[in-house]
Amino acid sequence: MLQVDNLTGGYAKEPIVKDISFDVNKGEILGILGPNGSGKSTLLKLISGILPKQKGTVKIDGEDAALYSQKQFAKKVAVLPQLHAHAFSHTVKDTVALGRYPHQTGLFSSWSEEDERAVSEAMNYTGVTRYKDQAIELLSGGEQQRVFVAQALAQDAPILLLDEPTNHLDIAHQQQLLDTIRNHAVEKGVTVVSVFHDVNLASLYCDRLLLMEKGEISIIGDPQEVIREATIGNVYKARVKTQPHPELPKPQMTLLPHKIEESNPFTVNKEHFTVTAERVSLQVNQPLKTLSSAVVNAGLGWYRAFVNRHVDENYNCDDVKAEMSAYLEQHGYSLTDTVGMMTAVTTEHAEIDEYEGDFGTVLVMVTAGVGNAVDVSQAVTREQRVGTINTWVIVNGELPEEAFIQAMITATEAKTKALQTENVQDPLTGTIATGTSTDSLLVAATQEGEHLPYAGPITPLGKLIGHGVYDCTIRAIRAYKKAKGWTS
Amino acid sequence: MNKATLAYIVSAATLLVAVWLGVSIGTVKIPISTFWDSSDTTASNILWKIRMPRVILAGLVGAALAISGAAFQGLLKNPLADPYTLGVSSGASVGAVVTLFFGLSIPILGTYTLPVFSMTAATLTMFLVIGFARLVDRSMKMETIILTGIIFGSFLGSVLSLMIALTGEELRQIIGWLLGSVSMRGWTYIVMVLPFVVIGSFILWMNRRELNAMLFGEERAHHLGVNVKRRKFMILIGGSILTGSAVAVSGTIGFVGLVVPHMTRLMWGSDHRHLLTLSFMNGASLLIICDLIARTIISPSELPVGVITAFIGAPVFAYIFYRQRRKGAM
């Protein structure tokens, strides 16, 4: 649809855009990214003909755009500029109607039904019909930008060029605007080329991305290929981390601010734990990066308070999460800052210990009750009940995400081994149990101090976790058995 | 009835009333019947030989200044722009003042030496200004045009001041011409100025939609399919033709070209498809009324019309401005 070959040009003799070539297919959305001064806006201006090109061609449907008159070009390509101010007032409808300029010919050029239809359709599509008789300068920035989108759509051009269209818009208006444009591209097969300032927005809305660096193409491809830590970090000269989007297969990036190195890294120790008849809690001053299967605030996050609450054996509630949240709030815990688990085991039997390695220490907390033990390999048809082995592993060190997962594997294996050692059996099958039906596990790390890349049993950290969890679980099972009066 | 139709009806009615007042009021009252009943030869002579040409000339000059003012304000996106921004009027003035200063009179042209010289000087200035602006900046940005106008305008203005300073006896005549007047010009002046007014206005009117697009900036206009360079050139030429010819026959009459477009915009909106024509009509009305006042207020003497335009126009503008802003605020 749009084909750019060896495009070179800029403002003065020295070209800003150097020898750029790419194709955009019909209905595709191509995002142009790049740091300030990389030439992304210049590239768009060269394509739209605002700046004269020094070399190269721009082809539309295989035809050289340089042969078009200004009006013919405007019938093929509509441009949406950044939001800016204007001197005299126009009504919304008159503004949108200007989009029909290239379709009007002759001295008198009467307004046709086709013009009227295109204008009202564009106004409906962008939701500005209700303002149609208002002066445009009385609208808010977001509404004004929608009017200009309507103007560009009224042009009925198969190609739409956008220059940072979401500048100065708040997030709701950004989303609205880009949703509108993407839907238009999908429904009408309009080809879109847009300059983006925001890497994440570009990733969300574009089929392909073109990353520019010093007037040249650094890389062009799918968002997955372009938005990579090394690429973005190099081109933008910024420390970034990429993450998957929670709903779409589109990568997102976050900036990593420069860290101030602490001479004394923050550490967690046994004194931070409090055990009462009602709960085991851990409270620290700095948030810990946490991965857990808790009731409240499960998953990955940063938290400062951790609660393992004792509930009655017959505790039964339709909405466990809501009830647990209410409990936490009632006891003065902030819901945004607390991970909450529950157990039927007497919390005073919790086993808490600190294990020391060369890099620092690991803390383990286990509450275990095995009355509900299960052999997982045979647990297909079993009824679920309140979990009874809750394990926390707190690491004084800095862990990447994969180490969190390895820590969880290691901790689970250690727990299973402890059950085996203690000969805990699944009462139904008579085989050795591997856990209980709703065990919970939490791994948290201070993310300060030594960098610990792995947590499998081959590493010092893995060994410590394995040993600690095994040790605490055995002690917790024994305490449980003793309390129940089962003498082993 | 839609707003545009109403605007045309109101403006046309105002113009008719202005013409009627302009021809009938004076030292001799002319009844409206004189138009079709020529039995009263004195009245008929006053109407057709004196009042009518004066009213029509005032109308043409007012119209020319107002429509070019509207176009320049739109093109330059500057509410302070007026027909004199480009400096073409200063050129026309220099041409006229030189004629007066040296007492020039070309035999074939006779008394028309002054307007012809003035128009020639205006044309020359126009080419110099546009040529220089293009030399500075090939794409002729708005700022370039305004600054070039200021350079040429102030240079020619100082030439005018120099001539005024060196003038002894004839000072009154030069000042009188510079303040502007449409008195005692006769039909020949109308014949002389009419083609320029028609051509200039037509050129501007052809660019009414382009002016609308250019209000959003040159880049935006370019994106909408306007051939910005060519259109800008056309508008500058059209406006200069109007300004130069108006100044050549009547002197530099201020205020009309600056304020009539604003008044029209405040009342009827800034859509150039209507603004140009409406400014044309309202400019004509305003100058006819002002000229009427100029020649009757201290009758039997006359004031230069340029004195009256601002004297009458400024309060009227202030009133409209006040009402519109208050309405907007409520």
For chain A, give every domain's residue range.
2-255, 270-484
pLDDT confidence of residue A386: 47
Helix, strand, coil in percent for chain B, rounding step 5: 80, 0, 20
> Please, are residues A443 and A290 in contact by the beta-carbon 8 Å criterion?
yes
Closest CA to B189 of B277, B118, B269: B118
Residue A149 C-alpha, separation from nearest chain B C-alpha, in angstroms: 12
CB distance A314 to A396 below 8 Å:
no
Nearest by CB to A88, which of B223, B228, B270?
B270
Asked whether A213 and A235 are in contact (CB, 8 A), the reply is yes
Contacts of A101 in chain B (CB under 8 A): 209, 213, 224-226
B78 vs A473: which has the higher pLDDT = A473
Give the pair of three-digit tokens for residue B166.
């060196």
**Residue B194: in which H helix or E strand, if any?**
helix B186-206
* B232 lies within 8 A of chain A by CB: no
Residue B10 has pLDDT above 90, yes or no: yes
Q: How far is CA A352 from the centre of its chain?
A: 35
Low-confidence ranges of chain A (pLDDT < 70): 83-88, 109, 261-262, 378-387, 487-488
Mean pLDDT value across residues B227-244: 91
Instruction: Say if the Cβ atoms of B225 and A87 lie within 8 Å.
Output: no
Structural contact between residues A393 and A282, judged by C-beta atoms closer than 8 angstroms: no
CB of B74 within 8 Å of any CB in chain A?
yes
A249 three-class SS = coil
Q: In this predicted structure, what is the pLDDT of residue A143?
A: 86
**Taking the alpha carbons of B198, B201, B205, B206 in that order, is the dihedral positive or negative?**
positive
Do A102 and A74 meet the contact criterion of CB atoms below 8 Å apart? Answer: yes
pLDDT of residue A88: 67
> Within an 8 Å CB–CB cutoff, is residue A73 touching chain B?
yes
Of the candidates B296, B202, B288, which has an alpha carbon nearest to the alpha carbon of residue B253?
B288
Domain annotation for chain B: domains and CATH numbers: 3-329 (1.10.3470.10)
DSSP B294-317: HHHTTTTS---HHHHHHHHHHHHH
For the domain spanning A2-255, the CATH number is 3.40.50.300
Residue B170's pLDDT is what?
A: 67
Half-sphere exposure of A142 (CA within 13 A, CB side): 12
Q: Give, in words, the CATH class of A270-484.
A: alpha beta
Q: Do the Cβ atoms of A70 and B222 come within 8 Å?
A: yes
Cβ(A74)–Cβ(A156) under 8 Å?
Answer: no
Shortest distance between the Cα of B202 and any Cα of chain A, in A, equals 11
> Tens digits of per-residue pLDDT, A97-135?
999 999 887 777 678 888 999 999 999 888 889 988 888
Interatomic CA distance for residues B57 and B48, integer angstroms: 13
**Residue that the structure tokens 């409808």 belong to:** A93
Confidence (pLDDT) at B208: 93
Name residue A238's amino acid: A
Closest by CA position to B47, among listed B35, B58, B60: B35
* CA-based nearest distance B266→chain A, Å: 10
Query: What H or E segment, with its residue span, contains residue B288?
Result: helix B272-296
**Residue count (chain A):** 488
Q: What is the pLDDT of residue B210?
A: 92
Residue range B83-95, pLDDT digits in tens: 888 888 899 999 9
Which chain B residues are Cβ-neighbours of A48 within 8 angstroms? 222-223
pTM: 0.78
- Would A2-255 and A270-484 be classified into the same CATH topology? no
Q: Which residues of A touch B227 (CB under 8 A)?
A: 69-71
Q: State the CB neighbour count (10 A cutoff) for residue B47.
A: 21
CB atoms within 10 A of CB B135: 10
